Structure 1
Amino acid sequence: MHVLIIEDDTLLAMSVQALIEDLGAVSTMIVCSEQAAIAQAERYRPNLIISDLHLGDGLGHAAVQTIRSTVGTIPVVYVTGDPQEARRLDPTALVLSKPLKVTELIAAIERLKPLIIDAA
């Protein structure tokens, strides 16, 4: 499983990356901007996206929408300080609030496993 992490908080991104790798991700990529996320996903299609909603130079949601329109449907977990906005923008995604609780992220990934396998 390849996971794309779209997060401009370096410490949080690295924590999520370590957890995802402990859970069995074969590869991960951290990007901190909307454009970098799109470019990375076009190079190497992710099986799962974990994204912040608000980035320094754009929106994680906009990156996700562009990625999905380019490479197909990919399961998404938003980790954001604005969960209501994330749910409004993408009702199909799982949304977790910051500060992130590890148990919630693990549960979200478990819930998405059938979709992640299908996307592989």
Structure 2
Amino acid sequence: MATPASTPDTRALVADFVGYKLRQKGYVCGAGPGEGPAADPLHQAMRAAGDEFETRFRRTFSDLAAQLHVTPGSAQQRFTQVSDELFQGGPNWGRLVAFFVFGAALCAESVNKEMEP
């Protein structure tokens, strides 16, 4: 369970990673999380791990979010289904990185389809 002190750190890590991935795909402009080099070593490590994951598994996971046929009505359900399946065997760093990469891809697909939150 997250402690109150770790919640802002986790939120900052997620915001940085998703912002970084959206910027890589050209979806976000202006200042915000994920812009420029990460100052926090954990953010740097997660960005690097995500980039490596995408490079290694590009063929397997290409257009994964698009393959799920995400719509405004199904995005949360699809995210939950993939997350549940991903962590079925318990958490580990590889699965956590895959979770971040999938979440960022789903965000990019949502932006691409101009879905409202």
TM-score, normalised on structure 1?
0.30
Higher relative contact order (CA 8 A, sep 6+): 2
Structure with greater proportional helix content:
2
TM-score, normalised on structure 2?
0.30
Structure 1 or 2, whichever has the larger Rg, is 2
Structure with greater proportional strand content:
1
